[in-house]
Each structure stands twice: as C-alpha cells, then as structure tokens.
Chain A
Amino acid sequence: MRRLRMALIWGGFTAALAVPIAAAATSPLLAWRDPVYVAAGFAGIVAMGLLLFQPLLAVGYLPGLAALRGRRVHRWTGGALVAAIVVHVSGLWITSPPDVVDALTFTSPTPFSAWGVIAMWALFAAALLAAGRRRVRLRWRTWRLAHTSLAVVVVIGSVAHALLIEGTMETLSKAGLCMLVVAATAKALVDLRVWSSGANANR
C-alpha cells in the first residue's frame, strides 16, 4: 500500500513534468526555429518543471526524499535550475541579442520579459544565498526568510513570465504546471510557517 502510494505520487509528478514538455514538443512553432532557439525554449520549460519540485523537496514532501535527503536534492535541483536559466537566457541571446539586451535593461516592449528577468535575478540571489550560507553568518530564521522570500519572487515572476508568453508551451498544460508550482509553493510556505515564526523569533 505504501509502495503503491509512493508510485502514484511519483507518477503524478513525473506526469506534471512530462506532459507540458511533451505538449511543447508538438508545437508547430518548433518547425520555424533553429536548434539553439528550441533548446532555449525547452530550458525554460524544464526550469518551470524543476520549480515545482523545489518547495516540495525543501519541506520533504516527496516520498523517499524526506527531511535531510530532500534538502540535499533541493540543493542539486537548485543548481540545475540555475543551469537551466543560464541555458535559457544564453540561447535567447544567441537567437536575438537586442531582444535580450532590452529584457535585461527593462526596456523591452513585452511585459513578460521584465517578469522573467526579475525571476532570474531572484533565482541567482537565492542560489548565492544557499551557496554561501555558512559565510553570510545570518541567523537560521533570517536566512530562511531571505531565501524563501527570494523563492517566492522566483515563482511569481516565472509564472507571470510563462503565462503571458505565446510560445512553444501548450496553453492548458502551461497553465496547469503554473498552478501546480504556485500551489506547491503556497503549501510549503504555510507548512514551514516561515513568516510567523520568523517574526516571533526576531523579537
């Protein structure tokens, strides 16, 4: 019974990741894009998929990856997330440098670019904070509040970025994945009680 539950949960998460990717793989837009642009787009989709796992790993909800093991995988997934975004932005840069310059300088005509760039910087900041946790000498609760706040910016920015784009992602599977990411993040935030306990501890 436990094994069945585990299989169901993991099956569900694999589907949550695989369905949007598979749907995007059938996009007619792919035919008119060169491999670098296609890779850049899929790196973005993979990043959104990884974003679904991050809060669940942080709290230890995934069966077989509870507590400390979950945290360790959370770190590796965070690294993969940074790598995916680097591939995403580099690929777009190679495809059309002026569009990426516009996005990075917040002068793009498309509002979703700004959301994406905000999410990118928040992601890099969250990753740096994680990498330098021993060096930054913050109190554990303060560190967690900072890291989680940045993660919330990453999630909101990424979801707004993805939803406003007309790209290779299929609309329904994109909205579904975005909803799951928001739900997983909200659930983790509530259960970790980052805000309330953090505020009390600082008094």
Chain B
Amino acid sequence: MTAVLFNRRTLLAASGAALVTGASGLRVPARAQGVSPTPTMRGGSNNYRPGAPIVKRIGGGGFWMSGTVRRAGDGAPLAGQRIQIWAHTTEGHERDWHSHGATLTDENGVFRLEMPQIVPAFGQAHGHLAYDSGDFKTVFLRPVMASSKDTSLEAHFVLQPA
C-alpha cells in the first residue's frame, strides 16, 4: 500500500524533474565549461578520522575501493594525492581506527586500495572517502553500493584549488 504511494511519489518527482530539466535545457545554451569540481556529499565526513595513515591494505582485504583524482577545469589527472578511505566492514565499525586507511594516486591520478568487505550499516552498504591534504579544497564522498554483494566500489574526485 505504502509502496504504491511511494512509487507514485517517485514518479511524480521524476516527471517533475524531467520537466524542469527539459524546460531549462531549452533556455540555457550548451556551454563548454570544462570539468566542474565534485561537491562534498551529504554525510560524507561522518566518522572521519583526520590523519589516518597511508597503508598497503586496510585489514585483511578482499574488497577494492578505487577511483580517480582530477583537477577542475581542464580535468588533468592529479598524481600523488592522498585519499583517505573508511567504511563499516566485516572487520569493524566506521568509527574504529583500524577501519581507516589512506592511499596515494599514481601518475594517472588513479587510486586503488584493498580493504575488508563493506557491509550495510545505517541502512545502506556505503563507503567514505576524503581528500583532505589542503592543496585543494577538502571533499568528502559517500558512494553507495548498487548491491551489498559487490566486491568493489568507485568514487571520483574533481578538485578545485583551496
């Protein structure tokens, strides 16, 4: 009963959004704006622990968190950027120090860190990532897994100068 109501609500919201997008698309001309910076996500900084160490792997591993770090505007890959990663996993809660670790991007701006399997917590299977080194503006991401059975998750950063 409620599920049906909710579907209708979702449908209404979706068609409303489509209408707005369509209408504004007619008025605003296409612009070559370049790559825009990634905004911090809601709840992204929850249980963040400043200064988590760079590690080869968080805990026993088995799950891969990966992504890219690029510069806003021209989209150039940023090498050597420190990304902190944490989540509720099979080995601990988000708040636990041993659930946190950091890694650096390679010359292509790609990072990849092995960690324990992420499991649903607070209603969703999700991870947390932070760029917090200061050269660029701090960004916190909170990607959600499409399925809690996934064994990898991606998150991408586009940073703007601090």
- Kindly provide the distance from the CB of B123 to the nearest chain A CB, expressed in whole angstroms: 4
**Bitwise interface map of B from 36 to 68 toward A, beta carbon under 8 Å scored 1, else 0:** 000001111111000000000000000000000
Interface residues on A, range: 20 to 34
Q: Which residues of A contact B46 (CB under 8 A)?
A: 96, 98-99, 102
A8 is an interface residue with CB less than 8 A from chain B: no
Min CB distance A114 to B, Å, is 12
On chain B, the residues within 8 Å of A159 by CB distance are 2
A160 within 8 A of B: yes
| Chain A 29-51: CB-based contact to B (< 8 A → 1; otherwise 0) | 10111100100000000000000
**Contact indicator A96/B123 (Cβ below 8 Å):** no
Task: Count A-B contacts at CB 8 Å.
Answer: 68
Point out the residue from B2, B43, B93, B122 that lies within 8 Å of A163, measured CB to CB: B2
Q: How large is the interface on B (under 10, 10 to 19, 20 to 34, 35 or more residues)?
A: 20 to 34
Interface of chain B residues 69 through 128 with chain A (CB within 8 A): 88-91, 93-95, 119-125
Q: Which of A1-59 contact B (CB under 8 A)?
A: 29, 31-34, 37
Within 8 Å by CB of B125, from A92, A95, A166, lies A166
Closest B residue to A100 using CB positions? B122
Bound Cα distance A98, B124 (Å): 15
- Of A69-77, A103-111, A124-132, A135-143, the one contacting chain B is A103-111
What residues of B have a CB within 8 angstroms of the CB of A29 in the complex? 119-120
Closest residue of A by beta carbon distance from B147: A166
A178 to B120, CA, bound (A): 21
Knowing A96-B95, A110-B123, A110-B124, say if A102 contacts B6 (CB, 8 Å). no
**Residues in chain B near residue A92, CB distance under 8 A:** 122
B3 touches A163 (CB 8 A): yes
Contact across chains for A182 and B120 when beta carbons are under 8 A apart: no
Contact at A165–B123, with CB atoms within 8 Å?
yes
Q: What are the residues of chain A within 8 A of B142 when measuring CB–CB?
A: 109
5 A–B contacts, CB within 8 A, in A order: A32-B119, A34-B93, A109-B43, A160-B6, A167-B120
Which 5 residue pairs are nearest across A and B when measured between Cβ atoms?
A98-B46, A109-B42, A165-B123, A109-B43, A166-B120
Given contacts A29-B120, A95-B93, A165-B123, 13 further A-B contacts (CB under 8 A): A29-B119, A33-B93, A34-B93, A95-B95, A96-B95, A96-B122, A99-B46, A102-B46, A163-B2, A163-B3, A166-B123, A166-B125, A179-B1
